[in-house]
Amino acid sequence: MKAVTRTPTTRSSLTRSGLLCSASLRRRQLLQAAAAASALALASSCAGSQSHRLICQHQRTGEVYAELNIDLGAIITHSWLHSIELSRWTDIYRFEAEQLMLISTEFEEYGAGMPLDEGDLTYRDGKIVIENIDRPFEAIGWIHSHRVDYRIGIDGDTGLIDTDQLPDREPIELRPR
């Protein structure tokens, strides 16, 4: 059996052969191209993006009670205890730039005044769920009452607006800007 002798590879021998230089050059070019692409993507997203806000305000006076940053596609829930059924009703909206799109609603009892002819109705976890409603709203408006335990959520967080601090028996709205 013949012994193979290997010459140790050193940085200087790779540099002399041009292998390290071309590999380093390629790596540097790739890093520069990636940095340029990242900078371009960041600049275009900043230039094209807008700051979106959800305003909780009085419908008549315009007094602002809360103003929150929201992202496109944010899910907004508006729920309360139904005054007759005494069970929670929840409307679910998706924020789409200038409007709120009602995408679904959930409640426990079906009765007078309930939606009949829109979306897909299912029964899930003890609730009637109507999905795929896709009805646009410029704002969500209601007469606020401290007796019905209103809750407003944004992407699952119901602590962003303290509904106990909203004025009782006054017209309130949530409006995107």
Asked if residue 4 is part of any domain, the answer here is no
The residues near 80 (Cβ < 8 Å, ≥ 6 apart) are 88, 89, 142, 148, 149, 150, 151
pLDDT score for 109: 81
DSSP structural state of residue 157? B
The radius of gyration of the chain from alpha carbons, rounded to an integer in Å, stands at 29
| pLDDT tier at 115, thresholds 50, 70, 90 | low
Per the model's pLDDT, the better-predicted residue between 45 and 173 turns out to be: 173
Residues 32, 90 within the same domain: no
Asked if residue 117 is part of any domain, the answer here is yes
Residues 121, 39 within the same domain: no
**Which amino acid does the sequence have at 61?**
T
Residues 43, 58 within the same domain: no
| Boundaries of domain holding 33 | 11-48
Residues 76, 134 within the same domain: yes
As a whole number, the mean pLDDT across the chain is 79
Asked if residue 147 is part of any domain, the answer here is yes
Phi/psi region, residue 103 (left: phi>0; alpha: psi -120 to 50; beta: rest), is: alpha
What's the average model confidence in pLDDT over 45-70?
A: 85
Residues 104, 29 within the same domain: no
Asked if residue 6 is part of any domain, the answer here is no
pLDDT score for 133: 94
Residues 38, 59 within the same domain: no
Cα-to-chain-centroid distance, residue 88? 23
Q: In total, how many domains does the chain have?
A: 2
Asked if residue 148 is part of any domain, the answer here is yes
| pLDDT tier at 82, thresholds 50, 70, 90 | confident
Residues 134, 159 within the same domain: yes
Residues 131, 144 within the same domain: yes
Residues 40, 76 within the same domain: no
Asked if residue 80 is part of any domain, the answer here is yes
Residues 145, 65 within the same domain: yes
pLDDT tens for each residue of 138-170: 999 999 999 999 999 999 999 999 999 999 999
Residues 100, 146 within the same domain: yes
pLDDT tens for each residue of 31-49: 454 444 444 444 444 444 5
Are 34 and 22 contacting, i.e. CB atoms less than 8 angstroms apart?
no
pLDDT score for 117: 78
pTM exceeds 0.75: no
